[in-house]
Structure 1
Amino acid sequence: MNNHLRWKHPSRWSETGTAGDGAYVGASSSGARQTTMRQFAAKKCEKGRSESITNLIGEMVALDMQPMSVVEDEGFKKLISFLEPDYTMPSRKTVTSRVLKLYLDCSAKIKHLLDQTMYVALTTDCWTSLTTTSYMTVTCHYIDEEWQMQAHVLATQNMEERHTAENLQIELETVVAEWNVSGRVSACVHDNAANIVKANQACDWESVCCFAHTLQLAINDGFKAVQILERMIGACSKLVAHFHHSTTATQALAVKQKQMSVKEHALIQCCKTRWNSIYGMFERLTEQRWAVCAVLSDRSVTKPADARNLELKDEYWRLMEEMDPVLKALAMATTAACGEEAVSLSVVYPMVCGLMNEHLQPSGGSDKVATFVNTVRESLVKRFLPWDTITASKPAVVAAALDPRHKKLRFMSPDMQAAAKTHMEAIFEVEKDKERASRGEQLDEESGDDVTAPKRQKKSSAMAFLLGAPYEEEENPELERYLSLPACHLDTDPLAWWKTNQQQYPVMARLAKRFLSIPATSVPSERVFSAAGLLVSKQRSRLLPDNVNMLIFLNKNLPR
């Protein structure tokens, strides 16, 4: 700027007085002179701005899973020095204290939000870090006053004791007590491990097994029932591994894809811990079949011995194509149930019955596919008990009845529908008593003793006695009115529907918040594992469990 004024505007530059001042200084109408560039460059970093920068560094550490020692990195110090020359870089200890304060403030806000909710649902799962330290993660889910689904990670506790049912129960109840939600937990979603199932059954909330995990167990039963499928999975996995490990084969595949006008997609490897990965591997291999075969046939790329070892039999290719519709339906069911922002538990039994009635029926395919389909179907029946009347009282069926899309329970037999309605009537009465007690407490808080309420009740009862049976109130008018409404279209948002109709059905709305907030899967807890993998790395293997809990909590709960 100084040179620009000197060479392009010499007359104006000379008006600044001394050329050494280095900037044009104009005068305003009030006579005040504009700050020179040197004065601007020499401007001190105010205390308030310095504090804000330090707090933002702490927030960056939490959101981006950065180590506390980032303030000691030369590149980071150089960047901050350029942006704010007068800012004093904080020590690692200072950053740690700011992160701790951030954790305390964030946990206080979440506790305040949880205090205002009627019901919360939990998910939990256990995992082991790179340092072989065992952790239990607990997340909570609820529907707020605006009928929006909310979720928070509550804790990632170090599990030093053996994972017995008793120890897991103690850990869960400790987390519930710390967050002041005792007596308001509607259910806890977990995997099918015997210890966690037993632990939750001993608690005073509903035990819900993860739908996706249960479905994958049924799919694995189907693969085990057909030996050729297991051999085919092994052969496909070996073929994909060859392309993943050989840069020559990978480059040749990209060339063949362009030559044959095939989509330029990489092959997908299956993984036992990744749901639907076998379907993904089969689907991608089927799509890239001729490009893959062309690479294996090219002797400048693949040796004859390797080609003979890697080429798939024609029977395998036919079997993958025949399996595609069945595996696709199962993969879609898994994906549909794993969402966190939408209602998911209410679609579990509609999807299970839909799979069994539409997609897991014998068809004109091969005997191998028929065996797989029948085995998966039998496993689903054994695990979900869709035709047993005891199932009518499960949270997933209650959630379906509270979902305006599935309220008619068309996917169930008449006997099951009757049993579900009986159970709905029972929990409706319990919830109605809670709603009356809640209203009574509100009246006491607002106006003290409500002396008029008993009189109105007595007058109403006397009038009903005089006018007779035709004027007597129905036993469950709200429940009957709700169930008599036609079911909504499948595209309807159940939470938006309840937001509009909660005044007409106040007790049913409370039940909807209680059951529709329960996730269908324990995926929210399992998704913490990927973030934890970035946190507890080889470079940060000495991170204390308390700091792991704090950093994961902030990473998942801080607003983005």
Structure 2
Amino acid sequence: MTRAMEDSDLKGIRCMAHTLQIAVHEGVLSQRSIADIIATGRKIVGHFKHSPLAYSRLQSVQEQFEMPPKRFQQDVSTRWNSTYYMLESLFSQKRVLAAYVADYDLPSTFTSYQWLLIENTLSLLAPFEQITKKISSSDASAADVIPLLAALKRLLSKEAETDYGVKTTKSALLEAVNKRFSQADSEPLFCIATVLDPRYKDHYIDVEKKQRVREMVQAELDLLKPLGDSEVTHREGGEGAEKKRIRTTEAVRVPSLSDMFEEILQENNPDARQTTSATAQQLDSYLSEVPIPRSDNPLTYWRTNQGRFPDLAQMARRYLAAPCTSTDSERLFSAASHVLDEKRNRLTCDKAEKLLFIKKNLPLFL
């Protein structure tokens, strides 16, 4: 995927899901107390996974508690959320495991303090699991990065009742997030995409960086070719050309001392500047409106409002198409195994590519 981006001369960004994986490993899973809990959990899950007799006994205990039969989830070291799901499945069966240990042997068990630590660790990692699900969806974009990080950092900086035993871990996790995402709020792609998302706009960008981000968006808008300029040029002639000469004559005038006072005043008071360009007026009008609910689709908003903000809508098509993770593209690689298999191994490359394209894009039109 990296080679494809380079060959296509496209700008690449780090996968947010992978960066979160590193941050969680550095801040939480590397802690000695948490690592001991995970090791114990793997022994318990492995015991039931490799022993049909043990699993049969576990089902009997679950039936006594009137609980549906449920297997424990085995984690994968390269996926931090699989470790989260393993601890969650163990914690949900806490009473069942206590009853099982009373009659049968287990290779390892949790102490009462470790059960409390598991509960608080799950509370600490729950927001990361929510974010991972959010950014792994097919409609996640680069616009989600800055708002999600802003909400996550604020949550980690607040004290909670579930901090007992994990306060140091929580601080280490916040430090890891700040370290791994230190450049996120300065990346032009993230900043511009966030502003162009009507759910966020500039509300999740630091106050001292708002003006800088606005300049980024305005610079991109200035690069867009104004709509209809070529048509106006072709139609000009005769009376139109005469009006153009008049406008040109009016535009060329000697600056006055009063103009200099006004110019200096505006330079030292950026907020008081009067924006006259059409693109600047579009940006002002767009940012002055209340953001739409986070549950709404930003692409639907731009489809509806492209008549009001044509230049911004054109930019949104470019920037909101950028994903923030490689998860969806990896799913596409996995989908290839369902198209090309042992029973369909004579498909040509072109035919397989078309089938994959239909599989991926047909739901968008249904």
TM-score normalised per structure 1: 0.54
Instruction: Answer whether contact 2:185 2:191 (CA < 8 A) is retained.
Output: yes
- Decide which of 168, 171, 175 is 1:374's aligned counterpart: 171
- Judging changes above 3 Å, is the alpha-carbon distance between structure 1 residues 277 and 424 closer, same or farther for their aligned structure 2 residues? same
Is the Cα contact below 8 Å between 2:143 and 2:191 reproduced in 1?
Answer: yes
**Conserved in 2, the CA contact under 8 Å of 1:393 and 1:423?**
no
| Aligned-pair identity (%) | 24
- Structure ID, larger Rg: 1
The one of 337, 350, 356 aligned to 2:153:
356
Q: Which of 190, 212, 235 does residue 17 from structure 2 map onto?
A: 212
Q: What letter corresponds to residue 120 of structure 2 in structure 1?
A: E
User: Which of 517, 528, 533 is the matching residue for 2:321?
Assistant: 517
Does residue 407 (structure 1) correspond to residue 201 (structure 2)? The answer is: yes
Gaps of 5+ in 2: 260-273
Alignment of 1:406-445 (within 5 A): 406-409=200-203, 411-431=204-224, 433=225, 435-436=226-227, 439=228, 443=231
- Quick check: 1:256–1:294 contact (8 Å CA) kept in 2? yes
Q: 1:172 to 1:394 in 2, by over 3 A?
A: closer
Q: Does the 8 A contact of 2:62 with 2:69 survive in 1?
A: yes
1:81-119 superposed Cα distances (whole Å, 9 cap, x missing partner): xxxxxxxxxxxxxxxxxxxxxxxxxxxxxxxxxxxxxxx
**CA-atom RMSD, angstroms?**
3.3
Kindly provide the CA deviation profile for residues 462-508 of structure 1, in whole angstroms up to 9, marking residues without a partner as x.
Answer: 67889x99xx9713222222222222232332112111111111111
- Offset of 1:321 from its aligned partner? 0.4
| Secondary structure of the structure 2 residue equivalent to 1:504 | coil
Query: Deviation at 1:294?
Result: 2.3
The 3 A distance-change label for structure 1 pair 279 and 407 is: same
1:355-377 deviation per Cα after TM superposition (whole angstroms, max 9, x unaligned) = 11024534455565122221221
8 Å Cα contact 2:5/2:12 also seen in 1: no
Q: Which amino acid aligns with 1:551?
A: A
8 Å CA contact 2:156–2:174 kept in 1: the answer is: no
Assess if the C-alpha contact under 8 Å between 1:269 and 1:277 holds in 2: yes
Q: Please say if residues 392 and 417 of structure 1, whose CA atoms lie closer than 8 Å, have aligned partners that are also in contact.
A: no
Q: What is the CA distance between 1:272 and its match in structure 2?
A: 2.4
- Quote the Cα distance in structure 2 between the aligned partners of 1:557 and 1:275: 32
How do 1:129-278 and structure 2 match up within 5 A? 168=3, 171-172=4-5, 174=7, 176=8, 203=9, 205-278=10-83
Larger deviation, residues 260-269 vs 226-235: 260-269
Name stretches of at least 5 consecutive residues in structure 1 with no aligned partner.
Answer: 1-123, 126-167, 177-202
Structure 1 match to 2:93:
288
Paired with 2:209 and 2:36, the residues of 1 have a C-alpha distance of 41
What is the distance in 1 between the residues matched to 2:90 and 2:290?
45
Alignment match, 2:189: 395
The answer to whether the 8 Å contact 1:212/1:337 transfers is yes
Post-superposition offset of 1:330: 0.6
The answer to whether the 8 Å contact 1:502/1:509 transfers is: yes
Give the Cα separation in 2 of the matches to 1:382 and 1:458.
58
Aligned counterparts of 2:275 and 2:241: Cα–Cα separation in 1: 18
More strand by share: 1
Residue of structure 2 in register with 1:159 after alignment: none
| SS class of match (2:321) | coil
Counterpart position of 2:125:
327
Question: Residues 474 and 393 (structure 1 numbering): CA distance in 2 closer, same or farther, change over 3 Å?
Answer: farther
CA deviation after TM superposition for structure 1 residue 454, in Å: 6.4
What is the match of residue 112 of structure 2?
Answer: 314
Task: Output one character per residue of 1:333-373: Cα deviation in whole Å (capped at 9) or x when no partner.
Answer: 11111111x35321211111111102453445556512222
Q: TM-score, normalised to structure 2's length?
A: 0.80
1:32-47 correspondence runs (5 A): none
Give the secondary-structure state (helix, strand or coil) at the position aligned to 1:206: coil
Secondary structure at the aligned position of 2:13 is classed as strand
User: Which of 273, 277, 297 in structure 2 is aligned with 1:493?
Assistant: 297
Number of residue pairs the alignment of both structures matches? 339
Q: Which residue of the other structure, out of 335, 342, 364, is the alignment partner of 1:531?
A: 335
Aligned to 2:265: none
Give 1 or 2: higher helix fraction. Answer: 2
How far off its partner does 1:283 sit? 1.1
Read off the aligned partner of 1:517 and give its amino acid letter. A
1:222 is matched by which residue type in structure 2? Answer: G
